[in-house]
Amino acid sequence: MREGKEATQTFRVAVAQIDPHLGERAYNRRVILERMEEAAQAGAALVVFPECALSGYVFPSAEEALPAAETVPGETTEAVAAACRQHNLYAIVGLLERDAASQLFNSAFVAGPEGLIANYRKCHLPVLGIDRFVGKGEALPILELPFARIGILICYDVRFPEAARVLALRGAEVIIVPTNWPQGAESAPLFLTRARAWENRVYVVACNRVGQERGTRFIGQSQIVAPDGTFLAQGDGASETLLYAEIAPAQARQKKLVFEPGVFELDPVGDRRPELYHDLCT
């Protein structure tokens, strides 16, 4: 689909830093649809929402969380896909997913004008909030959207450099990170996202939430990071907002840095020594 497109082509991404209400799926879905319309009017091709944007996060048990969960496909995937068709837009939405056996997963689905495209389940789980009661995801897929190859990591996933590296090696140009960074996780927006972007030479689009749930405060600071580790956009720690940036996927395909030919060159992907890394697989 992307063959023949100019290397200079860009697309606009929107990050929806919002304050989901715990357990209030109808309210959260309405906010998601409203932000999608706003992002489309601003020319975005892709809009990203936080981890558990549909459900909220701080549940004390699986039993309490289950009514806030949805199947994939389900009511919200259908509503978001319909909005994608209406606005000619793609969306990535975090939700609490339940399967046919009522097993819970911390997931993020991808929808576009063609409907539901994919569903990613969080692979690395901290002892925190709903993650104490969900199943682990088992795959790190790459999705080919019309404008870029994307990978998804959810929150704690980004603390594992191996996960981002695998996505980059599989061709990801943009890594999307729906997240619920709480107070105490300031290291993630401070330097982890920038490190993942630079070491893999990819864009990192991190969408955090704001607000509080049961005494847990979320720190915002959603951000869009370029392959050189610089911020293209960054939210504050408290405000609901939409952030925007232009992304040029061709920049993420250029892994080698040549400051002075033959004198100062870096290739953080091509210069790897996999034969030395066997312990990573144990």
End-to-end CA distance of the chain: 38
pLDDT at residue 96, rounded to an integer: 98
Angstrom distances, CA of residue 33 to CA of 4, 27, 46, 117 = 33, 10, 13, 18
CB atoms within 10 A of CB 248: 18
Residue 70 per-residue DSSP state: B
pLDDT at residue 121, rounded to an integer: 98
Catalytic residue among 122, 173, 207, 213: 122
Name the residue with tokens 């309210």. Answer: 27
Angstrom distances, CA of residue 166 to CA of 130, 170, 176, 182, 244 = 26, 6, 14, 26, 26
- Residues 28-60: tens digit of each pLDDT: 999 999 999 999 999 999 999 999 999 999 999
| The CATH number of domain 11-256, selected from 3.30.70.260, 3.60.110.10, 3.40.190.10, 3.40.1190.10 | 3.60.110.10
> Where are the domains positioned within the chain?
11-256
Q: Is 211 left (phi over 0), alpha (psi -120 to 50) or beta?
A: left
Catalytic residue among 84, 155, 207, 213: 155
pLDDT at residue 3, rounded to an integer: 43
Catalytic annotation present for 122: yes
Catalytic annotation present for 281: no
pLDDT at residue 239, rounded to an integer: 97
pLDDT at residue 165, rounded to an integer: 97
pLDDT at residue 31, rounded to an integer: 98
What is the edge-to-edge ordering of all strands in the sheet holding 90-98? Answer: 115-121, 104-112, 90-98, 46-48, 11-17, 241-247
- Residues 75-110: tens digit of each pLDDT: 999 999 999 999 999 999 999 999 999 999 999 999
Distance CA 132, CA 154 (A): 15
Catalytic annotation present for 256: no
pLDDT at residue 7, rounded to an integer: 44
Residue type, 121: R
What are the mean pLDDT values of the chain's consecutive 10-residue runs (282 residues total)? Answer: 54 98 98 98 98 98 97 98 98 97 97 98 98 98 97 98 97 98 97 98 98 97 98 98 98 95 95 93 80
